[in-house]
Amino acid sequence: MSAHISIPMYQRAVPQRYRLTGKRCKSCGKINFPPKAVCKYCLQGASFEDVRLSGKGAVYSYTVIAGGGAPPEFETEARCKGSYPVLIVELEEGPRVITQMVNPPKEGIAIGMPVQAVFRKIYEEEGVIRYGFKFSPA
């Protein structure tokens, strides 16, 4: 079973998925991404301002999904590509994001390696192509 995301729920997340828009907490100044109703850092109320993230960051950690380990929504990609890398990227602005990597370097991925967000197809569900950001070497 996949982690089903309904079309309305997906549409509500377009700002973060298409534009990397986070929310800066007016209490502590930290950026929440993906946006939350309550700041995950100071646990204070819901006073935020939108902030557009640069999409630049560094590899914080990574793994390679292979051999049937892909979630159901990524099975087609896994069959076509074989294994594929998944990263935790620490963005320049502070938040960390989990993402797939495109065009991994032949010499391999390294912790601290600079990466840049690129807009790509993520997967297709219910006849709708889901787009968002993946990361490539900077």
| Backbone dihedral angles phi then psi of residue 76, each to the nearest 5 degrees | -60, -45
Query: Residue 137: its pLDDT value, please?
Result: 98
Residue 99 CA neighbour count, 13 Å, CB half: 34
20 CB-near residues (< 8 Å, 6+ apart): 33, 52, 53, 54, 55, 117, 133
Mean pLDDT value of segment 78-107? 89
Find out if CATH 2.40.50 is the number for domain 55-137: yes
Model confidence band, residue 135 (pLDDT cutoffs 50, 70, 90): very high
Query: Residue 1: its pLDDT value, please?
Result: 41
Q: What are the tens digits of pLDDT across the range 10-66?
A: 666 666 666 788 999 999 999 999 888 899 999 987 799 999 999 999 999 999 887
Instruction: Give residue limits of the domains in the chain.
Output: 55-137
Q: What are the tens digits of pLDDT across the range 114-133?
A: 999 998 887 777 777 778 89
| Backbone dihedral angles phi then psi of residue 82, each to the nearest 5 degrees | 80, -130
CA gap 114, 108 in Å, rounded: 13
